[in-house]
Amino acid sequence: MEFLKRAILEKGKVLPGNVLKVGSFLNNQLDVKLLSQMADAIYEYFYNKGITKIMTVEASGIAIAVLVAERFGVSAVFAKKSKTANVDGDIYAADCFSYTHKVMNRLILAKEYLNADDKVLVVDDFLANGQAVYALKDIVEQSGATLSGVAIAIEKGFQGAGDKLRGEGVDLFSLAIVDSMDDCQIKFR
Amino acid sequence: MEFLKRAILEKGKVLPGNVLKVGSFLNNQLDVKLLSQMADAIYEYFYNKGITKIMTVEASGIAIAVLVAERFGVSAVFAKKSKTANVDGDIYAADCFSYTHKVMNRLILAKEYLNADDKVLVVDDFLANGQAVYALKDIVEQSGATLSGVAIAIEKGFQGAGDKLRGEGVDLFSLAIVDSMDDCQIKFR
């Protein structure tokens, strides 16, 4: 998606450790015009898949998820990050390591918000190591719902999780795939 | 706002300790149709105030804030909750006690996302003790920007912060004001 690639090149910052900082438009300050265009593109890709629910994880996935949900006319749900291991019977849970914050998070979602007949589109701002997407996929599978697709704003292609998900048959749609950030030069696939 | 009041009465749950649980439509599962109507009403109230930025706090305020920002055609920013006291010079910070989680949070926002010429509309899902709104107001004042208004989905009127803010001259617009929840009976102002 050219708008997004341009924003990444103009406003993104490459930091040590393969960190791509896009807080000025994607996940701290939210450029809602750009996010709306991204939501339109995601709707166009998945509009005929019978999606009944948009799912993401707090906090930075919520903005794009809610704009996507608005286009589909369905509800969005977000898994919460919990450091407590206590999970009662009314909650789905899946573990997920955050490489950014170097911490293991438990993603939790109340069972009442996901049903076996839901067709779920997982939406998130970033796909790098895939920890969050695999945890959300796990929660979808626990509920008996169908994972109809995964939509990502920025995929770090060089970290491999995107291609692994595609190889497993997941319908993954990434708006921009960064294939390398060597020497602070961003190269798209 | 009648749509919201009806949703509160039909789907909200009153829990011990004056907790009003609205996770099924407002802040865990997101009823995006209802949130869009709420965003429309907030836009209608503040549309001629020259708003340049929508501001909220992660995580549950993001959904409504982004829909409001979409209507104003401006960016949204969200303050992050940090438990670390280390704040460098490039960040605004304000403390805020969470009565829900019984923890002191430090709200932080990178200085680059708020300018002295911004006219800020603070948006949040709940107003109870006002801790989050006062911390966001503090951050707006630190930046030299103007607090043009505060828009809230559900104000717990009986906890007093809303009337205190109004008394201080803040243009506060709450879509639903709950004046009592005694005996699990929700009464609106």
Q: Could you give the ipTM of this predicted complex? A: 0.92
Contact B106, B96 (CB under 8 A): yes
If you measure CA to CA, which chain B residue comes closest to A37? B70
Q: Which of A65, A67, A73 sits opposite B33 (nearest CB)?
A: A73
Domain A2-79+114-188 annotated CATH 3.30.70.2390: no
A21 chain-B contacts, CB cut-off 8 A:
none
Contact A62, B59 (CB under 8 A): yes
CA atoms within 13 A on the CB side of B180: 4
* A72: pLDDT strictly greater than 60: yes
Look at residue A86 in the predicted model and tell me its pLDDT: 55
Region B15-36: what's the mean pLDDT? 92
**C-alpha B166: how far from chain center:** 15
* pLDDT one-digit tens code per residue, A83-120: 655 556 699 999 998 887 788 889 999 999 999 999 99
Q: How many CB atoms sit inside 10 A of residue B171's CB?
A: 15
Interface touch A66/B69, C-beta < 8 Å = no
Look at residue B183 in the predicted model and tell me its pLDDT: 86
Look at residue A56 in the predicted model and tell me its pLDDT: 98
Q: How many helices (H) and strands (E) does chain A have?
A: 5, 11
- How close B40 gets to chain A, by Cα (Å)? 13
Interface touch A76/B24, C-beta < 8 Å = no
Interface touch B63/A58, C-beta < 8 Å = no
Look at residue B85 in the predicted model and tell me its pLDDT: 54
Interface touch A24/B113, C-beta < 8 Å = yes
- Cα A57 from Cα A79, distance rounded (Å): 5
Confidence of residue B3 (pLDDT cuts 50, 70, 90): very high
* pLDDT one-digit tens code per residue, B128-160: 999 999 999 999 999 999 999 999 999 999 999
pTM of the model: 0.94
CATH architecture of B2-188: 3-Layer(aba) Sandwich (3.40)
If you measure CA to CA, which chain B residue comes closest to A81? B59
* pLDDT one-digit tens code per residue, A172-189: 999 999 999 988 899 999
Confidence of residue A82 (pLDDT cuts 50, 70, 90): confident
The crossing angle, in degrees rounded to 10, of helices A61-72 and B32-46 is 100
- Cα B183 from Cα A75, distance rounded (Å): 31
* pLDDT one-digit tens code per residue, B39-93: 999 999 999 999 999 999 999 899 999 999 999 999 999 999 886 555 566 999 9
* pLDDT one-digit tens code per residue, B125-135: 999 999 999 99
Cis peptide bond N-terminal to A128, omega within 30: no
Interface touch A112/B24, C-beta < 8 Å = yes
Look at residue A89 in the predicted model and tell me its pLDDT: 67
Q: A32 at the B interface (CB within 8 A)? A: yes
- How close B55 gets to chain A, by Cα (Å)? 9
- Cα A188 from Cα A130, distance rounded (Å): 19
Tokens of A162: 């995107």
Contact A39, A22 (CB under 8 A): no
Look at residue A183 in the predicted model and tell me its pLDDT: 86
Q: Mutation test of the interface with chain A: which of B21, B27, B30, B82, choosing the one with the most A Cβ atoms within 10 A?
A: B30
Contact B154, B8 (CB under 8 A): yes
A112 chain-B contacts, CB cut-off 8 A:
24
Query: Chain A to chain B, count of Cβ pairs less than 8 Å apart?
Result: 89
A7 chain-B contacts, CB cut-off 8 A:
none
Q: Which of A29, A70, A76 sits opposite B77 (nearest CB)?
A: A29
Look at residue A113 in the predicted model and tell me its pLDDT: 95
Look at residue B100 in the predicted model and tell me its pLDDT: 74
If you measure CA to CA, which chain B residue comes closest to A75? B31
Sketch the domain layout of chain B as residue ranges: 2-188
* B101: pLDDT strictly greater than 90: no
Contact A40, A3 (CB under 8 A): no
B107 chain-A contacts, CB cut-off 8 A:
none
Pairing of strands A19-21, A13-15: antiparallel
- Residue B52 φ/ψ, nearest 5 degrees: -115, -15
If you measure CA to CA, which chain A residue comes closest to B74? A32
- Cα A185 from Cα B10, distance rounded (Å): 53
With CA atoms as reference, report the closest residue to B179 among B153, B157, B161. B157
**Residue labelled with tokens 């939790």:** A108
